[in-house]
């Protein structure tokens, strides 16, 4: 049992009146903690294999807060009794997302630009370390710090054969031809439906960032990997931040990265999806 009472009492000077377990991810336990004046969320784990996970998440939330999205405000990170934790504001959830508002807000996020692709620090996507060494071109960054990095991990874990490595190399050689050039945009980095919540007014809320300055199509590719979005979301986005035609035809290239993340974390059930894309471009 994690020492949640001790953490809350040490930070707020009082014990919580109630603690409710929330639906979390694969690596953390998540709780809503009721205090006299408000509720907070605490995420906690004791994994030594993902050091500074919550410090990196706090940095990501602070970067996302530069946008117009609603983002939980991080309150405190730390460790106690071999457990690391993050305390942040609790946001009451609604039921129906305003997709037009989402499209506008995602465009406004992507209009926040960096000088380079990458970030001034590494972070995590799930429990997997994410290398963000800065590069001047998207093709260079996506090749070296996304696809080839994970190719080496997949090979070392016995998930990739030589043919997969060759297919990846061939695709990387074609990235400048296949992917439109762009400025480095601040992106969420892990924008699947589970990280897109809704407040009581129907406004979108972003959680669990894997942020860096990347290609804006990465967020759209991730959002459509395990689900879909209505056309009005993209229409309102395009009014503020137009993308090159052919987004849907090339989205599988940017879906390769999260698919390979899932392959490495969860096993060969994701290999068919990776192979399908690689064969298309090999």
Positions annotated as catalytic residues are 190
**Whose CA is closest to 102, among 50, 137, 133, 67?**
67
Give the single-character DSSP code of 72. Answer: P
Specify the 3-state DSSP secondary structure of 208: coil
- Give Cβ neighbours of residue 51 (< 8 Å, ≥ 6 apart): none
Quick one: tokens of 163?
């043919």
Strand partners, 125: 128
Q: How far apart are the first and last CA of the chain?
A: 50
For 166-204, the DSSP string reads: HHHHHHHHTHHHHS-----EEE-S---GGGEEEBTTS-E
Question: Which residues are paired to 80 by β-bridges?
Answer: 83
Kindly tell me the burial class for residue 247, based on how many C-beta atoms sit within 10 Å of its own C-beta (0-12, 13-18, 19 or more). Answer: middle
Q: What is the DSSP string of 236-260?
A: HHHHHS---S-HHHHHHHHHHHHHH
Q: How far is CA 190 from CA 130, 193, 208, 244, in A?
A: 11, 9, 8, 22
């Amino acid at each position: 049992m994690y020492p949640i009472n001790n953490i809350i009492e040490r930070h707020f000077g009082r014990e919580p009146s109630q603690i409710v377990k929330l639906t979390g991810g694969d690596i953390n336990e998540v709780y809503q903690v009721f205090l006299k004046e408000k509720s907070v969320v605490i995420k906690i784990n004791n994994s030594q294999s993902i050091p500074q996970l919550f410090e990196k998440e706090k940095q990501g939330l602070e970067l996302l807060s530069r946008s117009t999205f609603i983002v939980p405000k991080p309150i405190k990170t730390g460790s106690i009794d071999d457990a690391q934790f993050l305390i942040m504001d609790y946001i009451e959830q609604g039921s129906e997302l305003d997709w037009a508002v989402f499209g506008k807000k995602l465009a406004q996020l992507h209009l926040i630009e960096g000088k380079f692709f990458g970030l001034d620090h590494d972070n995590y996507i799930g429990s997997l370390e994410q290398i963000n060494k800065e590069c001047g071109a998207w093709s260079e960054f996506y090749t070296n710090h996304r696809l080839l990095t994970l190719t080496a991990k997949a090979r070392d874990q016995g998930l990739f054969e030589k043919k997969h490595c060759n297919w990846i190399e061939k695709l990387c050689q074609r990235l400048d031809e296949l992917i439109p050039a762009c400025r480095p945009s601040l992106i969420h980095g892990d924008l699947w439906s589970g990280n897109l919540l809704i407040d009581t007014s129907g406004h979108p809320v972003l959680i669990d960032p894997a942020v860096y300055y990347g290609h804006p199509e990465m967020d759209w590719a991730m959002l459509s990997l395990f689900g879909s979005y209505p056309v009005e979301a993209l229409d309102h986005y395009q009014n503020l931040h137009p993308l090159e035609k052919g987004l849907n035809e090339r989205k599988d290239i940017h879906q390769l990265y999260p698919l390979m993340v899932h392959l490495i974390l969860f096993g060969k059930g994701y290999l068919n999806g990776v192979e399908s894309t690689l064969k298309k471009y090999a």
